[in-house]
Amino acid sequence: EHNSPDVFAQECSFYGSGDFRPNALRLSADGTGVSDFVYKSHRTFRGRLALDGLPAARADENTQTLEVTLVDTVSGCRLKLYYTVFAELDIISRYMVIENGGEHKVRIDKCMPLTLDIPRSDLEMISFYGRHNKELNFQRAPLHHGIQSVGSKRGATSHHYNPFIALCDRKATEEKGEAYGFNFVYSGSFLDEVEGDQTNGTRVLVGLGSECFSYTLGAGESFCSPEAVMTYSANGIGHMSRNFHGFIRNNVMPSVSLEPHPVVLNTWEACYFRINEEILLDFAREAKKTGFDMLVMDDGWFRKRNNDRAGLGDWFENREKFPDGLASFVKKVKAEGIKFGIWVEPEMVNPDSDLYRAHPEWALRVEGREPLLSRHQLVLDMANDEVIDYLINIFDKTFEGVDIDYFKWDMNRPLADIGSYALSAECQGELYHRYVLGMYRLQERLVTEFPHILLENCSGGGARFDAGMLYYSPQIWCSDDTDAIERLSIQEGTALIYPLSAMGAHVSDCPNHTVGRTTPFETRGYVALAGTFGYELDVTKIPEEDRAMIPEQVAMYHKYNDLVREGDYYRIASYSENRYFDCYGVVKKDKTEALYTFVQVLSRPNYHSRRVFFKGLDPEKNYKIEGEETVYTGDVLMNAGYLVQNLWGDFKSRLIHIVEA
């Protein structure tokens, strides 16, 4: 008796196998794409194996892995499925390795390392959409029969979609209901597919997809997929978020993420390309006086880089701007008593550059076609080992003897003209993935060569805010939109998936350079406190009353940073939903301290004080609110609530610091 494969749960579904739901693997050995892998063996072991050339979660003493080996007798290929369990974090990681044990080449045309069949369809799907300056907008909709998907074809995870999705009960809230969360530890094009099927079940797939991926394996060669991770919460969406936060913070991000991050003054919004030694030394002196830890020199420091039309790829110091060289300039900055950081964009090249004139074949290009310019730049072919070797050598030479504490790595356009001089015609489909591997190789070299440095990633803001990048850099600039009110929704979306300590967030000048809005300096500081905290302005020109607040804000950061960096995150209210106010908090693991941020976006006339119901406290503990004498139980603050007086004016805010009494 035969049963149809498309009505049963599958751990990995294969194209052409009779399972007509979205498949996880399409492997072409004979031109058909059909494969039929069957179980051969399995084993379990403590820890986990390294993923060749890919970021992956680090094992701890309790981590265990299951390896299941399957074989396709026609092609001679072996498929190994890996399940790594991080039990204390409620996380399971999945990836696959395909080994060509046959005598002929095979081509992988689709690769989805995570498949999960859920025997129900009465769920809603959570995902995020966006664009430049408006990243990570929350969306939630009921599942329907058919395929729902998000993905990227841009070569990076993109401003437009994040490689995270969740499925939850239709009545799930922050505190109640079931939620299944999925994410991809990868920084390139991806696909998340969900189908409500004929049996009222739900299939979830996470991986590389097929439109921007193929990979050819010769006899004896193997391919390792990136890993996907999943978690489950029976206690609401907030618990799912905290599962991911703990996992990413402790097992994905580098150990430097557990240390306090420096308060930086970045030059970009203050100066753009108009920088030189004299201007920046003035910045350094003022930065020291006002309490900053570090000066970060953004774009404009190299060769002919006076605008965005020239110079990318020519990573040599500009002697007109820095007459005695970069090393000498950095020594002068350090002499003022602060640290130094620098901006780079290694993956890009301007046609107006010495590098492009010497090696036009090093840019992504399709022979005979005019390449597409974006932001006056082309993309270097990171799949070409010659390009990676060149970048390693040029950075070694330029930064030799330069005392750098921080690199900001930028990437300001998507991939187009998907062709590589370094790949054969049959392997061009590998370019998207090989590009990411090359980029990872360069980041790995950077953090290995400069083990003391702090690396911050950026991609026109949040176009590559993903767990793969967080493996190398403990913070990512989450948006080029620095307006405090715009940042409320951007940071809310980011914080649903990623720890607060990973979010690059700065106080910027007003009127804001993106939206022209003017908000109180105090509110700008409170909103930036939810991330890495720093400044993006000309400290020598801002109003004196604002400049006088900077030392207080820096002291505020140092007072609360351990709590923000290590505490559990709770969402109280969402401005994106109610259009009037925002509120969120972080609570110390032992429940002895909490910090809640309240932002009144729009004031309302003749309106009562707002009753805010805090979350995450111990109902049995007694608490005091800083500045008040009243003692409250955690039960009262969470269930009876706390009255926040109606603040006079728009864009006003308040920090509410609570400690055990």
| Cα(187)–Cα(469) distance, integer angstroms | 6
Cα separation of 637 and 481, whole Å? 34
53 contacts 36 by C-beta, under 8 angstroms: no
CB atoms within 10 A of CB 357: 11
Token pair 């809230």 is found at 173
Token digits of residue 346: 């290694």
Give the number of C-alpha atoms closer than 13 A to the C-alpha of residue 172, restricted to the C-beta side: 27
Distances (CA, A) of 105 to 72, 111, 378, 426, 637: 14, 17, 33, 11, 65
Q: 92 - beta bridge partners? A: 85, 230
Vertex 490, ends 231 and 547: CA angle to 5°? 130
* Bridge partners (DSSP) listed for residue 275: none
Cβ atoms within 10 Å, residue 505: 26
Active-site annotation, residues? 410, 480
| The token pair that represents 354 in the structure block | 């010495």
β-partners of residue 150 are 192
Strand partners for 84 = 65, 93
Number of H helices, E strands in the chain: 13, 36
**What are residue 328's phi and psi, to 5 degrees?**
-65, -45
